[in-house]
Chain A
Amino acid sequence: MNRRSFLKSSTLAGGGLMLSFTWLSAFKSAGTTGIADLPGDWVEINGYIKITPDNTIKILNPNPEFGQNVMTSLPMIVAEELDADWKKVVVEMGPHDSVKLGPQFTGGSNSVRMYWRPLRQAGAAARHMLVEAAAQTWSVPVEEITTKGGMLYHEKSGKSGTYGSMATKAATLAVPKDVKLKDSKQFKVIRSAQKNVEGAKIVSGKPLFGLDYQQKGMLIAMIHHPPGFGMKLKSYDATAALKMPGIRDVFTQKLYEDGFEQGGFDTRSFNDLLVVVGNTTWEVMQARKQLKVEWEPAGETKDTMGGRGQKREVVVPGTLESTADQLKKMQEYAAKPAQQLRKDGDPETAFKNAAQIIERTYTAPFLAHNCMEPMNFFAHVTDEKALVAGPLQAPGWSEPTLAKLLNLPADKIEIQMTRMGGGFGRRAYGQYMFEAALISKKVKAPVKLVYTREDDMTYGIYRPMYTATYRAALDANKKLIGFHVKGGGIPEHAIHANRFPAGAVDNYLAEGWQIPSNITIGAFRAPRSNFNAAAEQSFLDELAEAMGKDPIDFRLKLLQRAKEAPVGRNNEYDAARYAEVLRLVKEKSGWGKPENAQYSRGVAAYFCHASYAAHVVDIVMKEGKPYVEKVTSAVDCGIVVNPDAAANMVQGAVVDGIGNAFYGGLTHKDGVPVQNNFHTYRMIRMPEAPKKVEVHFVQNDIDPTGLGEPPFPPVFGAVANALYKAASKRLYQQPYAPQLETPKAF
């Protein structure tokens, strides 16, 4: 199978990666992985597993690691079906090879979900081949052989052997077409808490990250990008910069030539790059300050987009945007007719006949990813080949563009995936890898491109700016008879028209509109969902109050309706699973009686990326500032592969959610991002983090789904609802905390 066909199917799925069986067939052939540093006696069983005669079992992690712990959880899945002793398994990061190792994409809460079956099959197939090898060697029937902890046993004859002893023979056998997978009751590795396999390296500061990558003779490059969106380079004078110590070169470099067909993840914020190259990071930083640069408005520009669907031209407006104007424009657009995204029943009549209409509008700012490791990439490009190494979530998506830009065939390009210091969607967009490669090609040397924090924060690819107006129609008995959401954003809206409460209300309308912008946006830990969960879950809370109902009971009632007699078609969520997380969080939080009378409680639940999450948040006000003291979480992501690591991720999502809801926001003045480092972009810190986050997983046998995103969105809603109780007023704009804090901290 070829990459292109895989890429096609992944982009067609639009956000949720779908796996085709074509891809699965890639697992059926053994062969060498092309890893250069393997000792000669490694025996290849299949793409994922290597077993040495001395019984060392090495499992490759196919997917880039950005803190979601796939480096541990994915190999655990293989080890389970292989029946290996997890303590003896050696995990290593796989090379980038989307033919042998599958899509290798970290994002969309997809890693465990998409690799679950293939990895189990890989493990089971390997085990089967070892059993077969033992049966042949010992001349006994296959069925009589059992395995445990990396050993093969034949009870009747008393024979036993290590996997290693059979590995060489096993490698000569055919890979079985169909293998039986374990029943979930037999799981020993899966569902057991296992430590991060890179933990020891992390606590001792080993070079794991892209920014740590070094090579002899390597130069450092930085890009001086325009200060604001909608601006471009007019002229520059590098005389002073070039005289600075350690400086090699200053030049301009175009990222994409005119008419270059960009793929869906080739988002560029600025195309004309002013590059400074020198020996060390500090020297380059200092020299960059000596550049005399004039910028000018770029005016309207054009991007040629390939990738998703047809080749097309996209006009990028030249406006130098300011936040006040953005808000005003959003109000204008909100009043205009919008695109209908879903309609059930007759919402117009329902609203006409309503005894009461509740209408609320919510807004949220652009958010910067602020991965703690700023964007960076190493590249060494020659006329014949290219080696690039760095933090990237989806190397396979960027590789075709890299090949085009460098004019090299894909097999002459080696992409090494380093551990990422956070990703959150930002590193799905590989333009910084292209930049590094083009710079290396130009200076004919190995180069590491480094973004400073300021570069990172002002370079674009943000969570979009959103707004939505929710309306509910109640009849004289305070029964909900109509629901309407109209959402918009810069440059895209957040509406998921087929999600709850769609399916639970007879008369339902969802509409969307968008305002084109030159501010580049992208994935951000479920960008649309985290806004929706803030707005919709606040609105449902307010609605419950207006109807005199308990917020959890109110939601459960709607979900019951969605389950028993769903309205409309294409409802994306499973109402029973959705209800279950609410029930669980109700029980575990002791809803109705907080453990501390001072606590103000809020609840929210949300479904996204195929998983369900609900939180109850307890807030106290201290000296005029809101603090989340305690959070109780209930999550249904199917089978939990590594429970403690999964709990860590939920806790992290809760903290991150509080931080972004309370403090997150990037504003603009004449195209220039107003916040450019952590003194102005406020991040949640230790004193503001909750003291307790209790995580409860729904126990079931459903194939695992994602966890990186799903627990994040409902935090926003739960926080908003608890703040309402704590501050006795509803907040409709994010970030929330500055509106309550006295004196205003930022």
Chain B
Amino acid sequence: MITLNINNKPYNVNVSPDTPLLWVLRDTLGLVGTKYGCGMAQCGACTVHLDGTATRSCLLPVSAVGKMKITTIEGLSQKQDHPVQQAWLELDVAQCGYCQSGQIMSAVALLKQNKAPSDADIDAAMAGNICRCGTYLRIREAIHRAAELQRKKG
């Protein structure tokens, strides 16, 4: 039995310890907001936070999580009012939407460390998240907007 802290709630799971966190979230716990895209840390669809740091969950054995706090897209806010979610809605970023959980989680982690990221900072932080629909321009704009919203919130 492994105990996980996900979105500030404890979960007990009975899975083989080598199971990647991604599949524990999706298959075992039904938290399907975290997506599968490549399974080899290449696309960013599976991005979650471990103690606030963006992490690809598809290669992370659940046994390696330990006491770290996991945040998934479902845990960002109750009412889609996290500044990053708000900015995403304001700019209507999504096309198919499949990559967007991962994009948002990467963006939230970036804005945690960097309150006013430059385009180059965004390039570096978001390079691991692929979007076949090509929404990068709006993602960039939304990150700048979210930074603004965050500053206003103080």
Binding site for B on A (CB under 8 A): 65-69, 195-196, 198-200, 202-209, 211-212, 214, 220, 245, 280-283, 285, 369-374, 419-424, 452-453, 644-645, 648-649, 651-656, 659, 677-679, 683-687, 689-693
Q: List chain A residues, Cβ under 8 A from B129.
A: 685-686
The answer on a CB contact under 8 Å between A282 and B23 is yes
CA distance A322 to B74 in the complex (A): 45
Q: List chain B residues, Cβ under 8 A from A220.
A: 27
- Within 8 Å by CB of B134, from A200, A214, A655, lies A655
Q: Known: A678-B43, A686-B126. Is A281-B16 also a contact (CB below 8 A)? A: no
Q: List chain A residues, Cβ under 8 A from B45.
A: 372
- Chain B contributes a number of interface residues (CB within 8 A of A) equal to 61
The answer on a CB contact under 8 Å between A205 and B72 is yes
The answer on a CB contact under 8 Å between A209 and B98 is yes
CA distance A422 to B16 in the complex (A): 32
* 5 closest residue pairs by CB, A with B: A205-B33, A655-B134, A421-B98, A67-B96, A205-B73
Q: List chain A residues, Cβ under 8 A from B139.
A: 686
- Within 8 Å by CB of B80, from A200, A283, A644, A685, lies A200
- Within 8 Å by CB of A422, from B33, B43, B98, lies B98
- Within 8 Å by CB of B137, from A281, A420, A690, lies A690
CA distance A683 to B124 in the complex (A): 16
Residue of A198, A420, A689 most packed against chain B (CB within 10 A): A689
B52 at the interface (CB under 8 A from A): no
CA distance A283 to B20 in the complex (A): 11
Q: List chain B residues, Cβ under 8 A from A69.
A: 95
Label chain B's interface by main secondary structure.
Answer: loop
Q: List chain B residues, Cβ under 8 A from A374.
A: 36-37
Q: List chain B residues, Cβ under 8 A from A200.
A: 80, 89
B77 at the interface (CB under 8 A from A): yes
Residue in chain A with minimal CB distance to B103: A686
B147 at the interface (CB under 8 A from A): no
The answer on a CB contact under 8 Å between B133 and A677 is no
B51 at the interface (CB under 8 A from A): no
The answer on a CB contact under 8 Å between B92 and A644 is yes
Label chain A's interface by main secondary structure.
Answer: loop
- Within 8 Å by CB of A372, from B26, B74, B85, B96, lies B96
Q: List chain B residues, Cβ under 8 A from A67.
A: 94-97, 133
B132 at the interface (CB under 8 A from A): yes
Closest CB of chain A to B78's CB: distance in Å? 9
Q: Known: A205-B101, A209-B98, A282-B27. Is A371-B127 also a contact (CB below 8 A)? A: no
A/B interface sample: 25 pairs, CB < 8 A: A68-B95, A69-B95, A196-B92, A196-B94, A199-B88, A200-B80, A203-B89, A205-B33, A205-B101, A206-B33, A211-B36, A281-B26, A372-B96, A374-B36, A374-B37, A419-B96, A421-B98, A453-B43, A677-B38, A678-B43, A679-B40, A686-B122, A686-B127, A686-B129, A687-B124
Q: List chain B residues, Cβ under 8 A from A68.
A: 95
B109 at the interface (CB under 8 A from A): no
Q: List chain A residues, Cβ under 8 A from B27.
A: 220, 280-282
Interface members, chain B 21-80 (any A CB < 8 Å):
23, 26-28, 30-40, 42-43, 45, 72-74, 76-77, 80
The answer on a CB contact under 8 Å between A649 and B95 is yes
The answer on a CB contact under 8 Å between A203 and B104 is yes
Q: Known: A205-B72, A689-B134. Is A453-B39 also a contact (CB below 8 A)? A: yes
Q: Known: A198-B97, A419-B97, A420-B96. Is A684-B134 also a contact (CB below 8 A)? A: yes
- Within 8 Å by CB of A370, from B16, B122, B127, B132, lies B132
Residue of B34, B95, B140 most packed against chain A (CB within 10 A): B95
The answer on a CB contact under 8 Å between A677 and B130 is no
The answer on a CB contact under 8 Å between A677 and B136 is no
Closest CB of chain B to A377's CB: distance in Å? 15
CA distance A205 to B97 in the complex (A): 9
B4 at the interface (CB under 8 A from A): no
Closest CB of chain A to B72's CB: distance in Å? 7
Q: Known: A282-B23, A644-B92, A678-B130. Is A689-B85 also a contact (CB below 8 A)? A: no
B150 at the interface (CB under 8 A from A): no
The answer on a CB contact under 8 Å between A683 and B132 is yes
The answer on a CB contact under 8 Å between A653 and B89 is no
B 105-126 binary contact with A (CB < 8 Å = 1; else 0)? 0000000000000010011101
Q: Known: A204-B77, A280-B23. Is A648-B138 also a contact (CB below 8 A)? A: yes
Q: Known: A195-B89, A203-B85, A452-B39. Is A652-B134 also a contact (CB below 8 A)? A: yes
Q: Known: A202-B100, A653-B134, A689-B134. Is A372-B43 also a contact (CB below 8 A)? A: yes
The answer on a CB contact under 8 Å between B89 and A656 is no
The answer on a CB contact under 8 Å between B43 and A282 is no
Q: List chain A residues, Cβ under 8 A from B98.
A: 209, 371-373, 421-422
Q: List chain A residues, Cβ under 8 A from B35.
A: 209, 211, 372-373, 421
CA distance A690 to B119 in the complex (A): 11
Closest CB of chain B to A43's CB: distance in Å? 31
Q: List chain A residues, Cβ under 8 A from B130.
A: 372, 678, 683, 685
Q: List chain B residues, Cβ under 8 A from A686.
A: 122-123, 126-127, 129, 136, 139-140
CA distance A208 to B136 in the complex (A): 22
Residue in chain B with minimal CB distance to A450: B36
Q: Known: A200-B80, A371-B132. Is A207-B104 also a contact (CB below 8 A)? A: no
Q: List chain A residues, Cβ under 8 A from B73.
A: 203-205
Residue in chain B with minimal CB distance to A652: B134
CA distance A656 to B77 in the complex (A): 31
Closest CB of chain B to A530's CB: distance in Å? 14
Q: List chain A residues, Cβ under 8 A from B76.
A: 204
The answer on a CB contact under 8 Å between A422 and B96 is yes
Closest CB of chain A to B64's CB: distance in Å? 15
Residue in chain B with minimal CB distance to A656: B134
The answer on a CB contact under 8 Å between B43 and A204 is no
Closest CB of chain B to A201's CB: distance in Å? 8
Q: List chain A residues, Cβ under 8 A from B94.
A: 67, 196, 198-199, 202-203
CA distance A686 to B92 in the complex (A): 18
CA distance A165 to B17 in the complex (A): 59
Residue in chain A with minimal CB distance to B143: A686
Q: List chain A residues, Cβ under 8 A from B80.
A: 200, 203-204
Closest CB of chain A to B55's CB: distance in Å? 16
The answer on a CB contact under 8 Å between A678 and B19 is no
The answer on a CB contact under 8 Å between A212 and B32 is yes
Q: List chain A residues, Cβ under 8 A from B137.
A: 651, 655, 689-693
CA distance A318 to B23 in the complex (A): 38
- Within 8 Å by CB of B100, from A203, A211, A371, lies A203
Q: List chain B residues, Cβ under 8 A from A687.
A: 123-124, 127
The answer on a CB contact under 8 Å between A422 and B133 is yes
The answer on a CB contact under 8 Å between A204 and B33 is yes
B135 at the interface (CB under 8 A from A): yes
Q: Known: A69-B95, A373-B98. Is A205-B32 also a contact (CB below 8 A)? A: yes
Residue of B35, B130, B133 most packed against chain A (CB within 10 A): B133
CA distance A203 to B33 in the complex (A): 9
CA distance A199 to B39 in the complex (A): 26
Closest CB of chain A to B21's CB: distance in Å? 10
Closest CB of chain B to A388's CB: distance in Å? 19
Residue in chain B with minimal CB distance to A645: B92
The answer on a CB contact under 8 Å between A678 and B38 is yes
CA distance A419 to B123 in the complex (A): 29
Residue in chain A with minimal CB distance to B23: A282
Q: List chain A residues, Cβ under 8 A from B134.
A: 651-656, 659, 684, 689
Q: List chain A residues, Cβ under 8 A from B38.
A: 453, 677-678
Residue of B45, B72, B99, B131 most packed against chain A (CB within 10 A): B131
The answer on a CB contact under 8 Å between B135 and A648 is yes
CA distance A421 to B43 in the complex (A): 14
Closest CB of chain B to A445's CB: distance in Å? 16
Closest CB of chain B to A539's CB: distance in Å? 26
Residue in chain A with minimal CB distance to B76: A204
CA distance A692 to B124 in the complex (A): 18
The answer on a CB contact under 8 Å between A655 and B136 is yes
Q: List chain B residues, Cβ under 8 A from A693.
A: 137
